[in-house]
Amino acid sequence: MTDPNRIRYKVNTTPLDHAPVPPPPTDAQPLKLGVLEQLPPPVSAHSPAGDIIDARSIPPIDIIPNSVIGQPVGQVRLVPIGRGMSRTLGRLYVTFDGQVYHCTAQFVGALNVILTAGHGVFDEVGGAGFFSDAVFYAGFNDGCYTSAHRWQCAAVYSGWADQRIYHYDFGFIKLHSAGTAALGLQGNTGRSPMTSLGYSQGFYDARQAVYVNGPVAPAPSNPAGKYSGCLHMPGNDLEEGSSGGAWVYDAYAESVNSFNVTGYPDDMYGPKFDSSAMDLFDFVKKGCVTENPR
């Protein structure tokens, strides 16, 4: 079996066009969340998110840390525009097999690297593989945006691209241009509640960024291993389009919106970041170039 920690990557070989990036297409479809059929046993909303992972962290840039951006827990609210974590957030448009989709991404760890879901970078489910094109519209709000960025390179782990293990459903993209602020990145600390961000089709037709605060617990193990090593946020009812939106504590991303489980439409699951997330970030930040790619 392929090593799940082997890095799969793609470099944009198209010559950079310095013309202005065109506005986002109006016919893009929201990227669907992953869906698993097996039903998990109930998990207490007050369970800790698991053992604290001893992993290095990458600090935020020009963001004042805050534990959650508002209250109460379990209610979806609009992200305050133009300040705080909203300055890192945007809509990512990706093309698979000629169809353009939109999902959620955010600057993390650097002003030219974004974090999103693995299935927003590599279509393992539909078989399309890596996207053929991607454009990130930072600060997207009802058709307006603060800046637009073309992609330079992108990477996911083989655990997602070849095996569809949801613990690996995250990816990073290096951009040709920079934003103004970035979230930090760290392995899951076991802290709760957290803030989930995203552009969700069920709220404002995914045209405005929303957030929901929720308790975080470890996802139960399952025989197929598809969501072992993941986190569970009950009450997070964000929908398609929110894929890749970060789960944040104190301005650090510790997971992303990844998948639902049949029978639990109001719960969200995401990969539990550990040192592998930092390693993949480093690889992408360097332009997906290494003497010894895994």
CA angle centred on 261, ends 194 and 161, rounded to 5°: 85
Condensed to tens digits (0 to 9), the pLDDT of residues 191-207 reads 888 999 999 999 999 99
Whole-number Å distance between alpha carbons of 90 and 46:
31
CA distance 38 to 176: 41
Give the per-residue pLDDT at 72.
66
Is 154 in contact with 132 (CB distance < 8 Å)?
Answer: no
Contact 51, 275 (CB under 8 A): no
48-285 CATH: 2.40.10.10
pLDDT at position 47: 47
> How far is the C-alpha of 273 from the C-alpha of 168, rounded, in Å?
9
What Å distances lie between residue 210 and 15, 75, 202, CA to CA?
A: 35, 10, 10
- Coil, helix or strand at residue 100: strand
> Which pLDDT tens digits describe the chain residue by residue (294 residues)?
678 999 999 999 988 877 789 999 999 999 999 988 765 554 444 444 555 555 679 999 998 765 556 566 778 899 887 778 889 999 999 999 999 999 999 999 999 999 999 999 999 888 899 999 999 999 999 999 999 999 999 999 999 999 999 999 999 999 999 999 999 999 888 888 899 999 999 999 999 999 999 999 888 776 566 677 899 999 999 999 999 999 999 899 999 999 998 888 889 999 999 999 999 999 999 999 864 444
* Domain layout of the chain by residue ranges: 48-285
What was the pLDDT predicted at 39?
53
Q: What pLDDT, on a 0 to 100 scale, did the predictor assign at position 45?
A: 45
